[in-house]
Amino acid sequence: MQKLTDQDPETQSADLIAGNIALLQSLFPEAFTESKVDFEVLKQLLGGLVDEREEKYGLNWHGKRRARQIALTPSTGTLRPCPSPEESVDWDTTQNLMIEGDNLEVLKLLQKSYAGKVKLIYIDPPYNTGKDFVYPDNFQDNIKNYLELTGQVEGGKKISSNTEASGRFHTDWLNMMYPRLKLAQSLLKRDGAIFVSCDETEQPRLRAAMDDIFGQENFVADMVWAAGRKNDSRLISVSHEYIVCYARDSGYLTEQKIEWRQRKKGLEDIYAQHKKLMREHGTDYAAMTEGMKAWYKGLADSHPAKAHRHYAHVDARGVFFPDNISWPGGGGPKYEVLHPRTGKPVSIPSRGWMTSDPEKMKQWILEDRVHFGVDENAVPCIKSYLMDREYQAPYSVFYQDGRAATKRLREFMGEDCFDFPKDETVLKELIGMMTSENDVIMDFFAGSGTLGHAVLAQNATDNSNRHYILVQLPEPLDPENKDQKTAAGYCDKLGKPRTIAELTKERLRRAGKKIKDENPIFGGDTGFRVFKLDSSNIHAWEPNRDDLADTLLQHAEHLKTDRTEQDILFELLLKLGLNLTVPIEQKNISGKTVHSIGAGTLLTCLAPQISNNEAESLALGIVEWHKQLSPAGETQVVFRDSAFADDVGKTNLTAILQQNGLENVRSL
């Protein structure tokens, strides 16, 4: 029986460096000698594609190398489950996750279980305001240290006149963001994408950093969110922010002909007006057309339906607009088409007809899909129906009042509790345009939980079952800080710790309840499982060289005694690459609880004691259960190493399992 230890790669988060080296070695085995890279050979194999110049285009800053290394360093922590109703909602059935902890460590821990599984990542990271970040891994030094590290001070004396603090804060922000973005990239599916909210302060550097991580060829767009005019500027009123978008693999999106589409706004109002006119005018389509034109004219310019005022004509099929019927680019076919009333040939478009088949044109006319003028002198049009054109490519520039989300959240939560939340309706649009059933959507700067709310709202809209993963640092809220006083007071009223993560969970609870109340026929998932970042359940080997005997005694039990069986179980899921919502069954076998995870992919018994007499019957019972489960792939079986009094029971149990096809038997 092989023993898992804290030094075993399987007990740590994914080792990205080892993965990169293995991939490189599989592509270029000639470049490896005694498991080390021969860079001269590698340069030759790449045919001169390696740029050997010291100066090259790109973004560089103090700490970039360290930030990249931090992303590649495995985490030895774990995520502890919190299934109580005070923390989680619908623990047994939900597929949604709310994780409390530093997102850098959490992203590392999720690498094995969620690599290549996330369809959409949206984050709204802290903007660079010139203040220190609260993230515990931050690199900010005081200004004196920063100047020394960047060569602007030597021996306590300035050697450069460029001593502005702004460079330091750009460095801090980039060092905070870079490893997180690097880890986020590996979680995305091949057809996935990441959207990052940012203001103009860091947008140029964010773009350059994301070019470095995702590749410039995967840049999709800078979406510009106009949030309302400000009048507090002497020069230009900056009233927008950016949402920077990169695809995981834009070439794959093109190859698969994948399109992102948003449903046009204001359609319900247009359809309602059409129905109203039908009741008033019956089949008098000319009167209905005039009624639609008059209705559009009376709308305010800000009304979303106003953008579709060209859909003003009506026939038996519905609302349409007379679209161009000519051949794209010119040089199209020119043949005779007769006007249905006068019987004379109509004017032919200068670019020719849009179809080369005269019979197809006749069929369109028979089906009343061609809109003719009063006589043959007008060029006909093809009817483009609104019901066939409800979706469009999202615009890169859009307006959404920045105050609306704050007002809605205030009403939703009962009072003010969070400053400047993101707008769930905007995020709902992003979710709807590129995700579908069972997709995983992630935000590792969860804040008030806007993304989770938006996922639930979109699921209710199209009756789907997307899942979210939210990560939020339990950042303390100080009631003495005027910017945090309201939020801290709100937590006090809830009787909860004063942290932002508590506000996140409360919003998710309320969002789930509200969506169920407003959509009684919607039976989707509105719960969430809470996990909290903590140290591993497995003892790290930390020998006391002055008293090795005492060290050995302390490490006789490999697992921490203050952790529950459920804590250990979920760490196993992370270590072995199973997701945190995988189905788990329990069965009592020979008086011991045995867990089947992922329909038998993992079988584990974490009982603290297994006697030699119990070992045989336990092994036989596990074999029988495994036959009933019939998992698709190889099954791993895991026990607590300290449960066995001696090697006899352990050896017998392992032999029985392996003789019956369960060869991968491990111990913790």
pLDDT digits (tens, 9 = 90+) for 524-565: 999 999 999 998 888 764 444 554 444 334 444 578 888 999
**Which of residues 326, 357, 391 is at a domain's end?**
391
Q: Could you tell me if residue 307 is inside a domain?
A: yes
Give the 3-state secondary structure of residue 603: strand
Q: What was the pLDDT predicted at 113?
A: 95
Q: What was the pLDDT predicted at 139?
A: 32
Give the 3-state secondary structure of residue 118: strand
Q: What was the pLDDT predicted at 10?
A: 55
**Which of residues 391, 418, 450 is at a domain's end?**
391
Each residue of 392-441: pLDDT tens digit? 999 898 888 778 888 888 888 888 787 778 899 999 999 999 999 999 99
Which residues of the chain fall short of a pLDDT of 50?
Answer: 136-154, 158-166, 541-544, 547-556
Q: Among positive and negative, which fits the CA dihedral 207, 210, 212, 216?
A: negative
Q: Could you tell me if residue 594 is inside a domain?
A: yes
- Domain hosting residue 374, numbered range: 267-391
Q: Of 90, 162, 130, which is closest to residue 581 (Cα–Cα)? A: 90
**Considering its fold, how many domains does the chain have in total?**
2
Q: Could you tell me if residue 638 is inside a domain?
A: yes
Q: Could you tell me if residue 137 is inside a domain?
A: no
Q: Could you tell me if residue 325 is inside a domain?
A: yes
Q: What was the pLDDT predicted at 27?
A: 73
CB atoms within 10 A of CB 256: 11
Q: Could you tell me if residue 620 is inside a domain?
A: yes
How many degrees, rounded to 5, is the angle at CA 635 between CA 632 and CA 641? Answer: 165
Q: What was the pLDDT predicted at 548?
A: 41
- Write down the pTM of the prediction: 0.83
**Which of residues 364, 391, 418 is at a domain's end?**
391
Give the 3-state secondary structure of residue 120: strand
Q: What was the pLDDT predicted at 247?
A: 97
Contact 549, 16 (CB under 8 A): no
Look at the block and give the residue holding tokens 């993101």: 422
What CA–CA distance (Å, rounded) separates 564 from 611?
A: 21
Q: Of 429, 424, 434, which is closest to residue 508 (Cα–Cα)? A: 424
Q: Of 310, 329, 328, which is closest to residue 320 (Cα–Cα)? A: 310
Q: Could you tell me if residue 144 is inside a domain?
A: no
Question: Which tokens is 241 given?
Answer: 């922010």
Q: Could you tell me if residue 399 is inside a domain?
A: no
Give the 3-state secondary structure of residue 194: strand
Question: Which tokens is 591 given?
Answer: 């008086």
